[in-house]
Amino acid sequence: MSRYNQALALGYAEVAEDGDDKPLKGHEDRLLAALQRAEQAFEEAQPVAQDASELAELMTKKGSTGLWGRGAYENLAKHLAAAIETIQEMDPVARRFLTWAAYTQGLVRPEPKVTVRDGRRTVTRSLSLMGGDREPTGTTLPLDQMGSQLVEHLENMRHLVAAAPGEEPFVHFAGGGLYPQTGPKEWKTLPLDAFVEVLWEFWTDVTGSAPTVGELKTRSQTPEEVRAGIAVSNADENRIFTSPAARMIFAATGPLRGDHNETLYAKGTVHNALKKRQAMLRERRSNKAAD
């Protein structure tokens, strides 16, 4: 059952109001749907974040030498390149048997063959061995085409391994090692990043412009506090988002609770997630313009 309901959506829409500006008024149903999509994204990202965080901790402990060092990945890339070359130079019959073995393990599969007769579209899949034996369907297994898939898979792995020392998907690295520069904590915010992404896109779609991140300021002293000489602490309850979108997104993280019903995300954490999202989109636009 979802954490979010119509009443919460109405409340979050009000949180986004700024005087006479009510950007989400009349869009509460769409907001509820977005909240539930964001919740699903959050849930799906949690096991990924847990695994990535644990791996990052192991890599941090291991350091940038030995098993996790650049040399190990470069060595693996060489072996993959050699395997690709060997497959490409194999006897055609031997290559077909290798492809068949990969097929039985689910590593490759035939592409569907599409035929159009009398305006009707028919899709068939090949099922037989060596292009000679026939199934009752009358279709054959295109082992040569599937063999190309096997080589393609190895090529993709080789490129992935070659990228490991400093490019995506590992993202950030320090000192030539294979762990995130910001440490394992970076991965722990992945569920929040996924949650923010959905609501960011919702806001952009509804209002016609991307959310402003704004600032996170400490509130001013009340007259009573001034008279009593009480300073305003930097505690979370005293911090205020200047952006209506940021206020709404932070409020929406409230129902996301920990195992002991504790609050998961402070205002500063959510603000950082918003800044990260903004920076990523700016970088994408910059890269696109450069291309």
For residue 249, the SS3 value is helix
Residue 151 lies in a domain: yes
Regarding whether 59 and 23 lie in a shared domain, the answer is yes
Regarding whether 189 and 269 lie in a shared domain, the answer is yes
Regarding whether 148 and 121 lie in a shared domain, the answer is yes
Residue 168 lies in a domain: no
Residue 269 structure tokens: 């954490």
> Each residue's pLDDT tens digit in the chain (291 positions)?
899 999 999 999 999 998 899 999 999 999 999 999 999 999 988 887 777 777 666 655 655 444 445 567 778 888 888 998 998 888 888 888 888 887 777 777 766 554 545 555 444 444 333 333 333 343 455 667 677 878 888 888 887 776 654 433 343 333 333 333 344 556 778 889 889 999 999 999 999 999 999 999 988 888 898 888 888 887 888 899 999 999 999 999 999 998 889 989 999 999 999 998 898 888 778 777 776
Helix (H), strand (E) at residue 218: strand 216-218
Regarding whether 190 and 99 lie in a shared domain, the answer is no
Regarding whether 138 and 81 lie in a shared domain, the answer is yes
Residue 213 lies in a domain: yes
Q: Give the number of domains in the chain.
A: 2
**pLDDT > 70: percent of the chain:** 73
Per-residue model confidence (pLDDT) at position 112:
54
Per-residue model confidence (pLDDT) at position 60:
58
Per-residue model confidence (pLDDT) at position 88:
86
Per-residue model confidence (pLDDT) at position 175:
33
Residue 177 lies in a domain: no
Task: Provide φ and ψ at 107, rounded to 5°.
Answer: -85, -30
Residue 45 structure tokens: 């990202």
Regarding whether 159 and 87 lie in a shared domain, the answer is yes
248 burial class (0-12, 13-18, 19+ CB within 10 angstroms)? Answer: buried
Regarding whether 129 and 33 lie in a shared domain, the answer is no
Regarding whether 106 and 80 lie in a shared domain, the answer is yes
Regarding whether 86 and 108 lie in a shared domain, the answer is yes
Residue 271 lies in a domain: yes
Distance, C-alpha 198 to centroid of its chain: 11
pLDDT digits (tens, 9 = 90+) for 129-182: 333 333 334 345 566 767 787 888 888 888 777 665 443 334 333 333 333 334
pTM of the model: 0.62
Regarding whether 75 and 59 lie in a shared domain, the answer is no
What's the rounded Cα separation, in Å, for the pair 166 and 261?
38
Q: Which of 159, 160, 150 is nearest to 107 (CA)?
A: 150
Secondary structure of 90-144 in HEC code, one letter for each residue: CCHHHHHHHHHHHHHCCCCCCCCEEEEECCEEEEECCCCCCCCCCCCCCCCCCHH
Regarding whether 78 and 52 lie in a shared domain, the answer is no
What's the rounded Cα separation, in Å, for the pair 236 and 229?
20
Per-residue model confidence (pLDDT) at position 2:
92
Which of 134, 163, 192 is the last residue in one of the domains?
A: 163
**Residue-range definition of the domain harbouring residue 54:** 6-63+184-290
Which of 163, 196, 218 is the last residue in one of the domains?
A: 163
What's the rounded Cα separation, in Å, for the pair 232 and 220?
7
Regarding whether 201 and 58 lie in a shared domain, the answer is yes
Asked whether the beta carbons of 190 and 52 are under 8 A apart, the reply is: yes
Per-residue model confidence (pLDDT) at position 142:
67
Which of 163, 198, 232 is the last residue in one of the domains?
A: 163
